[in-house]
A and B are shown apart, each in its own frame.
Chain A
Amino acid sequence: MIPAAIREPVIVGRGLTQVYGAATVLDDVDIRIDPGEVRALIGSNGAGKSTLVKILTGAVRPTAGTVEVVGQQVHLGSPSEMIGRGVACIYQHSNLAPALSVLDNIFLGRNPTRRLGLVDRPRQRREAQALLARHGIQIDLDVPAGSLPAVKQKEVEILKALALDAKVLLMDEPTGWLASADVANLHATIRKLKGQGVGILYISHMLDEVFAICDTMTILRDGRVVAENAVADISRARAIELMIGRQLAAQTKEASEARVSRMTGSVRLKARGLARNGVFSGVDIDLNAGEILCITGLIGSKRTELVRAIFGCESLDAGSIEIDGAPIAVKSPSEAIAAGIGLVPEDRHRDGLMLGLSVSENLMMATLGRFRRGLLLDRGGMATAARRLIASLNVKPASETRQVRLLSGGNQQKVLLGKWLDGRPGILMLDEPTVGVDVGAKAEIYDILRAARDEGAAILVVSSDIEEVLAIGDRVGVMSAGRLVSVHPAKALTASSLVTMIGEAA
Chain B
Amino acid sequence: MSETTSISVASAWRLAATHALPVSIAIVVAVFAVAEPAFLTPDNLLGIVRQIALVGIMAAASTFVIMTGGVDLSVGPVLALAGLVAYFVLGAGYPVPVAVLAGLGIGLFIGLLNGAAIGFLDLPPIIVTLASLSIVRGAALIVGGPDLHSIRDQPIYSAIGTGSLAGIPLPVWIFAAVVLLLVFVQVRTPFGLLVAALGENERAARLSGHRTRITKMLVYGLSATGAALAGIVLSSQVHTASATYGPFGTELDVIAAIVVGGTSIMGGNGSVVRTVVGVLFLGVVSNGMNLLNVPIDVQLIAKGAIIVVALGLSARR
* Complex CA distance for A412 and B288, rounded to whole angstroms: 48
Q: Is the CB of A355 within 8 A of B188?
A: no
Q: Is the CB of B268 within 8 A of A356?
A: yes
* Beta-carbon nearest neighbor of A374 in chain B: B189
User: Does B293 reach chain A (CB closer than 8 Å)?
Assistant: no
Q: Is the CB of B200 within 8 A of A333?
A: no
User: Does A23 reach chain B (CB closer than 8 Å)?
Assistant: yes
Q: Is the CB of A50 within 8 A of B196?
A: no
Nearest Cβ on chain A to B252's Cβ, whole angstroms:
26
Interface size on A, residues (CB 8 A): 43
User: Does B303 reach chain A (CB closer than 8 Å)?
Assistant: no
* Complex CA distance for A350 and B206, rounded to whole angstroms: 12
Q: Is the CB of B207 within 8 A of A408?
A: no
Q: Which residues of B contact A60 (CB under 8 A)?
A: 5
* Complex CA distance for A48 and B208, rounded to whole angstroms: 33
Nearest Cβ on chain A to B223's Cβ, whole angstroms:
20
Q: Which residues of B contact A351 (CB under 8 A)?
A: 201, 203-204, 207
* Beta-carbon nearest neighbor of A23 in chain B: B4
List residues 261-291 of chain B with CB under 8 A from any CB of chain A: 268-269
Q: Is the CB of A379 within 8 A of B269?
A: no
* Complex CA distance for A54 and B200, rounded to whole angstroms: 27
Which of A21, A354, A356 touches B205 (beta carbons < 8 Å)? A354
List residues 21-70 of chain A with CB under 8 A from any CB of chain B: 21, 23, 25, 46, 48, 50-51, 54, 60
User: Does A338 reach chain B (CB closer than 8 Å)?
Assistant: yes
* Complex CA distance for A84 and B276, rounded to whole angstroms: 48
Q: Is the CB of B196 within 8 A of A334?
A: no
Nearest Cβ on chain A to B201's Cβ, whole angstroms:
5
List residues 181-196 of chain B with CB under 8 A from any CB of chain A: 187-190, 192-194, 196
User: Does B7 reach chain A (CB closer than 8 Å)?
Assistant: yes
Q: Is the CB of A54 within 8 A of B5?
A: yes
Which of B3, B5, B201, B209 touches A355 (beta carbons < 8 Å)? B201
User: Does A162 reach chain B (CB closer than 8 Å)?
Assistant: no
Q: Is the CB of B207 within 8 A of A406?
A: no
User: Does A323 reach chain B (CB closer than 8 Å)?
Assistant: no
Nearest Cβ on chain A to B272's Cβ, whole angstroms:
16
Which of B3, B188, B268 touches A406 (beta carbons < 8 Å)? B3
Q: Is the CB of B200 within 8 A of A356?
A: yes
Nearest Cβ on chain B to A311's Cβ, whole angstroms:
8
Q: Is the CB of B1 within 8 A of A376?
A: no
User: Does B41 reach chain A (CB closer than 8 Å)?
Assistant: no
Q: Is the CB of B190 within 8 A of A406?
A: no
Q: Is the CB of B209 within 8 A of A354?
A: no
Which of B4, B190, B196, B209 touches A25 (beta carbons < 8 Å)? B4
Given known A48-B1, A354-B197, A406-B7, contact A368–B204 (CB-CB < 8 A): no
* Complex CA distance for A372 and B210, rounded to whole angstroms: 14
CB-defined interface of B1-28 with A at 8 Å, one 1/0 digit per residue? 1111111100000000000000000000
User: Does B211 reach chain A (CB closer than 8 Å)?
Assistant: yes
Q: Is the CB of B207 within 8 A of A352?
A: yes
Q: Is the CB of B204 within 8 A of A352?
A: yes
What 5 pairs across the A-B complex have the smallest Cβ distances? Answer: A50-B2, A354-B200, A337-B209, A334-B209, A25-B1
Q: A25-B1, A352-B204, A377-B188 are in contact. List 8 more A-B contacts (CB 8 A).
A: A18-B5, A352-B207, A355-B200, A366-B208, A375-B189, A376-B188, A377-B193, A406-B7
Interface of B with A (CB < 8 Å)? 1-8, 187-190, 192-194, 196-197, 200-201, 203-211, 268-269
Can you show 12 pairs from A to B with CB atoms below 8 A apart?
A20-B1, A20-B4, A25-B1, A51-B4, A54-B5, A313-B206, A333-B208, A336-B209, A352-B201, A354-B196, A366-B209, A375-B189
